[in-house]
A = this chain, B = another copy of it.
Amino acid sequence: MQKPSNPQGTRDFGPDIMQKRDFILGIIKNIFIKYGFEPLETPALEKLSMLTGKYGDEGDKLLYKIRSNREITHEVDDDKAQVIRENFPNQWIPGVSKLGLRYDLTVPFARYVVQHRNEITFPFRRYQIQPVWRADRPQKGRFREFTQCDADCIGSNSLIHEADLVQIYNEVFIQLGLPNAILKINHRKFLEAMVDELKLDFPVTKFTSTLDKLDKIGKDGVIQELLNLGVTQEMCNQLFQMITNTTITHDSLDQLSTAFNNNVLALTAIDDLRSILQYTEAIQFVIKIELDLSLARGLDYYTGCIFEAMIPNSGIGSVSGGGRYDNLTGIFGLNDVSGVGISFGVDRIFEILESQKLWPITHSSNPSILFCHFDKDTQIYAVKVANQFREKGFRVLVYPDQKKINKQFDFANAKRFKYAIIVGKEEMETNMLSIKNLMTGKQEKRSIEESLIFFDREKI
């Protein structure tokens, strides 16, 4: 008999983990809804033709491809099939795979928008929380099956969307108990302005992939790489006068205009940031929001604002990223539809809350009250009382088996019930309940009505 196990890079989420994950996902989902995002779910199975070529060569390699037995027989010539059968008895005959597993939520969203463009009222705000799959080498914190949590606004150029997303970041991190989060913002046009001002003669992406390493290799490392690319020391000095980490205020944006010599690309970026400032001027932000001119995050994708959120001293890079893209649906033939979106890394947020022990005490959705009993009569009576509790919305359980009362308490403690209600012959005859607080060990008698009021007050 083989030992049961789940595949490498995948996880079972038992009750404790589920409750913690629901805590995170519930917060994010409710804030998305509050800001007018509507739910969408797309299938895990996508046509492989919709997925390939969308994530680069490396991405194509990481796509999980699927074949059902049914499909294979259609695709292979009989004579070729014969060659295979001889060489690989009892194995599949190769064919072109037609299906793959969802690799992210962005490409399926783009497919959905183009496919249903005549039914959708634009601008369209959707959120989507679903697992994705990548045939990656599993390692700590990197899984083959993990959940993405996306919100996108599509079909509008307004900066109000960026402003709302910034507010969402603020609310999400406050509610998660991570008010020290930092939201880094950049704008593609700043990066283009640097290339423009420095008159670099290589592509923006080559420049930004170097700049993106600033966190890892430091200023000197970046300068060395730029020198190797033929940038002069003077240009590097000029560059690092532009690259500032600063809070975003009208004053700091004025200074940036000067630092960029009023470069027209930089001014576009500054205009956009000013709009976000205007839309959010009444908000007292709790999280730290800073402009980080070295932030790039896969630049070929983003065309406007770029976002990245991180938790300081967590040992984990970013927990969310996003930005504006002006041609997401172009891959499916619908051009000039601008969008902006963000994605939260649920697993990373989980990791931080877990390692910093930041879970709220109230996250449990375990049943709170266990009814204990002594024989079938008292058990049947306990079921009746339990149903009165359920009618009031309490989550209760009657211990199912006929076992000694101590076994029942052991079960209650192992499952972290808060109270045990003990029903014996005496309780049945007097319409009373013996209520034991499992944390303090204190036990007291109350009538059924009093008990219901008591537990209601205790907010069980």
Residues of B within 8 A of A245 (CB): none
Instruction: Tell me whether A390 and B43 are in contact (CB under 8 A).
Output: no
Residues of B within 8 A of A163 (CB): 383
Instruction: Tell me whether A34 and B393 are in contact (CB under 8 A).
Output: yes
Known pairs A33-B365, A153-B400, A160-B379; A115 contacts B395 (CB<8 A): no
Q: Which residue of B lies closest to A144 (CB)?
A: B45
Interface size on A, residues (CB 8 A): 114
A92 at the A/B interface (Cβ < 8 Å)? yes
Contact among B39, B42, B91, B116 with A94 in the assembled complex (CB-CB below 8 Å):
B91
Question: A379-414: which residues lie under 8 A (CB-CB) from chain B?
Answer: 379-380, 383-384, 387, 390, 393-398, 400-402, 411, 414
Known pairs A83-B87, A115-B4, A144-B45; A67 contacts B65 (CB<8 A): yes
How many copies, total? 2
Known pairs A36-B367, A111-B4, A158-B401; A80 contacts B69 (CB<8 A): no
Question: A1-25: which residues lie under 8 A (CB-CB) from chain B?
Answer: 1-7, 10-15, 18-19, 22
Instruction: Tell me whether B282 and A1 are in contact (CB under 8 A).
Output: no
Contact among B40, B65, B93 with A18 in the assembled complex (CB-CB below 8 Å):
B40
Known pairs A7-B46, A66-B66, A68-B65; A123 contacts B39 (CB<8 A): no
Instruction: Tell me whether B39 and A6 are in contact (CB under 8 A).
Output: no
Q: What are 20 A-B interface contacts by the 8 Å CB criterion?
A: A1-B332, A4-B111, A4-B332, A6-B46, A6-B111, A12-B40, A12-B41, A12-B43, A18-B38, A38-B365, A44-B131, A68-B135, A84-B84, A84-B88, A93-B94, A153-B400, A160-B400, A161-B400, A282-B387, A283-B387
Chain A residues near B (Cβ < 8 Å):
1-7, 10-15, 18-19, 22, 33-36, 38-47, 49-50, 61-71, 80, 83-84, 87-88, 91-99, 101, 110-112, 114-116, 119-121, 123, 125-126, 131, 133, 135, 137, 144-145, 153, 156-158, 160-161, 163, 167, 278-283, 332-333, 365-367, 376, 379-380, 383-384, 387, 390, 393-398, 400-402, 411, 414-415
